[in-house]
Amino acid sequence: KKVIGLGRVTSIEMNHKAKTEAKKGDPSVAIRIEVPGFDTPRMFGRHFDEKNEIYSQITRQSIDILKNAFRNDVSKEEWGLIANVLKKKLGIQ
């Protein structure tokens, strides 16, 4: 499968109110994704849709920061997702 970058998440909203995070099981949220000025925006329905898997482009450095600063805020299920899915999909050691 081809991997395309969608951009950077710049905001999350639920019922038109800003949120700092959204977790599995939360009601639906709206995510604003912005692309750098030099890149072409990806359009829902044209470049990707609800059938596509969307992953955060996390780095080894980001994982280390999560471990050091937010270890207790991340659930075991979320750590499993990071360790078993994201690291494999993104080729992180």
Residue pair 41/14 in contact (Cβ under 8 Å)? The answer is no
* pTM for this model (two decimals): 0.69
What's the average model confidence in pLDDT over 2-21?
A: 90
Tally of CB atoms within 10 A around 23: 9
Together in a domain, 7 and 18: yes
Give the distance from CA 72 to its chain's centroid: 19
pLDDT of residue 11: 96
Pair (50, 84) in one structural domain:
no
Domain match, 9 and 19 both: yes
State which residues form the domain around 75: 55-93
Q: Does residue 2 sit in the same domain as residue 42?
A: yes
pLDDT recorded at residue 1: 66
According to the model, what pLDDT value does residue 57 have?
82
In terms of domains, do 5 and 42 share one?
yes
Judge if 5 and 48 occupy the same domain. Answer: yes
Average pLDDT, the chain: 87
* 28/36 Cα distance (integer angstroms): 26
Question: Do 65 and 36 share a domain, yes or no?
Answer: no
Over residues 22-58, the pLDDT tens digits come to 988 899 999 999 988 888 888 889 988 889 888 888 8
Measured from the Cβ of residue 13, the count of other Cβ atoms closer than 10 Å reads 13
